[in-house]
Amino acid sequence: MRCNNHRGITLLELMIAVVVLGVIVAMAAPEFGDVLKRLKFKNKSRDLVSDLRLARSDAIAQRTQFGLYFDLGQNQYIMFKDKVNPSLFTYDAGDSVIKTVSLDQDVLLYSSSLTDNTIVFKPDGSASCSGNVIISDSQGNEQADVDVLASTGRVKLTYQYLQEG
């Protein structure tokens, strides 16, 4: 005696699986957008840290001063070679602009405790002053604090997640 035992899924079972998968995807879609915004914010803050570290290493390698000027009003920062009045540790007209970085409207230069919103790295790797720059996402839910230590030129990044109220 022969038994035909065909195993498989029916069309009804397949449709149920597709509907369940669709519901799960629909629930995850808003969270995915938030994750993308958070990743974009973290990338921008890491780019800022990289530019600070690049200015420091250029100052050491080229034995001249390099710095970053933070223009909070224009939501941008300028990396420059400090050629005009290097003893003042400021960004002046005539300094060589290496690059200008304009931040997106989703990422804001929130505040700076740096003297004249400028940090200049000296040829020995130290910085002109200690201080920090805080950037924030446009909703104010997340902040990145970029600290610079004057004696060593060390750059440190910390994140702060603010509670939504």
- The pLDDT value given to residue 97: 96
Residue 133's nearest CA partner among 56, 24, 5, 44 is 44
Q: Which residue has the tokens 């230069």?
A: 109
Structure tokens belonging to residue 153: 């030129």
- The pLDDT value given to residue 46: 96
Task: Tell me the per-residue pLDDT of 93-117, one tens digit each, with 9 for 90 and over.
Answer: 999 999 999 998 889 999 999 999 9
Calpha distance 68→48 (Å, rounded): 10
Q: What is the largest CA-CA distance in the chain?
A: 101
Structural domains of the chain, ranges and CATH numbers in brackets: 11-161 (3.55.40.10)
- The pLDDT value given to residue 165: 46
pTM of the predicted model as reported, rounded to 2 decimal places: 0.80
| Res. 127: pLDDT tops 80 | yes
Calpha distance 93→127 (Å, rounded): 21
3-state secondary structure of 108: strand
- The pLDDT value given to residue 133: 97
3-state secondary structure of 163: coil
Task: Tell me the per-residue pLDDT of 37-79, one tens digit each, with 9 for 90 and over.
Answer: 888 999 999 999 999 999 999 999 999 999 999 999 999 999 9
Extract the runs of DSSP E, i.e. beta strands, from the chain. 66-71, 76-81, 96-102, 107-112, 118-121, 131-137, 142-148, 155-161
| Res. 8: pLDDT tops 80 | no
- The pLDDT value given to residue 109: 94
Those residues with Cβ within 8 angstroms of residue 123's Cβ, 6 or more apart along the chain or in another chain: 59, 60, 62, 63, 64, 65
- The pLDDT value given to residue 3: 62
Q: What percent of the chain has pLDDT over 90?
A: 71
| Res. 91: pLDDT tops 70 | yes
140 confidence band (pLDDT: 50, 70, 90):
confident
Structure tokens belonging to residue 11: 């069309």
